[in-house]
Amino acid sequence: MNRNELLSVANQFGSPVYVYDSAKIKSQYTRLTTAFGKVKNLKINYAVKALSNISVLKYIHHLGAGLDTVSLQEVQLGLAAGVPAEQIIFTPNGVSLGEIEEVAKLGAQINIDNLSILEQFGNKYPETPVCIRINPHVMAGGNANISVGHIDSKFGISIHQIPHIQRIVTNTGMRINGIHMHTGSDILDIDVFLHASEILFETAQHFDNLEFIDFGSGFKVPYSENDIETNIEELGERLSERFNRFCKKYGRDLTLTFEPGKFLVSQAGYFLANVNVIKQTTSTVFAQVDSGFNHLIRPMLYGSQHHIENISNPEGRERFYSVVGYICETDTFANNRRISEIKEGDILCFQNAGAYCFTMASNYNSRFRPPEVLWHEGEALLIRKREDFNNLIENQVVVDFKKVSTIEI
């Protein structure tokens, strides 16, 4: 999307507002499937938690993707988007057996990541094929909070417990139809990822009835012009070759599955906010926007550096700004960032706002969550309305103190 298109969205729908460019989602999807073009059966299951708007799910499904879900509610959103249950995989962590049973009833593929539930589910439903999530104990990125494959991570069943898994499978008579790993976000080193894949192949040999091997996700996307990103093309080349060799050895054409979230939607998203106040102190110039970590928490939660452009004055002289929000708490988006000169009333555009941005938004400070707009074939389509005061109070129950106590309020 260009600046004028973004400005037109801010004009039409007000600020703050999230905008997603469908063409970028499509080109990322094509890039991934092209990189793995040599694999006969490839399945991309989009990770719903990155951006879960039903219209976005519909669009991504139309491209050919299934869905990766982590809660019963995400499965229900997928079904509401028209995605058939057979194309939905449920990969929860630490949920109850009851929730897994409900999802299994809906017909989605179950992926289990602990021995206790595996045994309970296998005993009750030996006929329902199950995928197991393995922890290969490989660190994907540098950040231990978003890397979930390391030794003391809560995710997956340790590769050191394969004999235990096999005992459960034999005793229950259940069928394992998939093997899965997800080492977490930000794969920087392809060799590390391939090393984890080797562990998955070794694990797969212990199971005779597999239909797919799921390599999870964690592809790193660039946050600025010279930022590093996962080299998908190289990964495609090397992993495809290795996967095809494994299938020959295994004696069956398995499906290679990925479940990217960030890779498909991060760069497609823009967050637009209006500058309320320019505040000059003795050391800093603050640009304060009509938003905060209630709407975009990644900079405060993960230290993410979202590129910020002043689309109202893109050619202006650059100056240093700290971009902050209007929440009554520290909510810094950027410290001393070079941005073209900002005036009050300008619209700032935050990039990489497609993944884990709206889905992590809250009503903190009793602010409304922003609307979402899909930019599709040159048109701005509203896909979620801005909240209003009713959304803040609809579930609140106002106590009539006179009736229940001695005080009069």
Per-residue contact string for residues 228-247; x = within reach of ligand PLP by CB under 6 A: --------------------
Q: Which is nearer to ligand PLP, 21 or 68 (CB)?
A: 68
3-state helix/strand/coil string of 216-236: CCCECCCCCCCCCCCCHHHHH
Pick the binder of ligand PLP from 74, 259, 290, 331 (CB under 6 A): 259
One of 20, 121, 207, 263 touching ligand PLP (CB under 6 A): 263
Q: Is 70 in the site for ligand PLP (CB under 6 A)?
A: yes
Of 285, 374, 408, 378, whose CA–CA distance to 336 is shortest?
Answer: 285
What is the separation of C-alpha 227 from the centre of its chain, rounded to a whole number of angstroms? 20
Q: Which span (200-208, 211-219, 271-279, 338-346) binds ligand PLP, by CB under 6 A?
A: 211-219
| Per-residue burial over 305-315, b = 16 or more CB atoms within 10 Å of its CB, e = otherwise | bbbbbbbbeee
Residue 65 binds ligand PLP, judged by CB under 6 A: no
Contact pattern from residue 131 through residue 170 relative to ligand PLP, giving x for each residue in contact according to CB under 6 A and a dash for the rest:
----------------------------------------
**How near is the Cβ of 378 to ligand PLP at its closest, in Å?**
28
State the catalytic residue, choosing from 131, 247, 328, 349: 328
Please state the closest distance from residue 49 (CB atom) to ligand PLP, in A.
5
Strand partners, 255: 212
Length of the chain, in residues: 409
For the question of residue 328 being annotated catalytic, the response is yes
Contact 385, 372 (CB under 8 A): no
Residue 29 binding ligand PLP, by CB under 6 A: no
The only residue of 91, 294, 312, 322 in contact with ligand PLP, by rule CB under 6 A: 91
Count of residues interacting with ligand PLP (CB under 6 A): 18
Least Å from the CB of residue 51 to ligand PLP: 9
Nearer to ligand PLP, 259 or 290 (CB): 259
Question: Binding ligand PLP by CB under 6 A: which of 355, 374, 380, 383?
Answer: 355
Tell me how far apart the alpha carbons of residues 111 and 131 are, in angstroms, rounded to a whole number: 4
The 8-class DSSP code of residue 187 comes to: B
SS (H, E, C) 227-279: CCCCCHHHHHHHHHHHHHHHHHHHCCCCEEEECCCHHHHCCCEEEEEEEEEEE
Q: Which of 236, 261, 269, 354 binds ligand PLP (CB under 6 A)?
A: 261
User: Which member of 24, 182, 306, 384 binds ligand PLP (CB under 6 A)?
Assistant: 182
List Cβ neighbours of 261 (8 Å cut-off, separation of 6 or more).
46, 47, 48, 49, 50, 51, 68, 217, 355, 356
347 alpha-carbon distance from chain centroid: 26
Please report which helix (H) or strand (E) contains residue 348, including its range.
strand 347-350
Question: Under the rule (CB under 6 A), what is the footprint of ligand PLP?
Answer: 47, 49-50, 68, 70, 91, 182, 185, 216-219, 259-263, 355
Residue numbers annotated as active site:
328
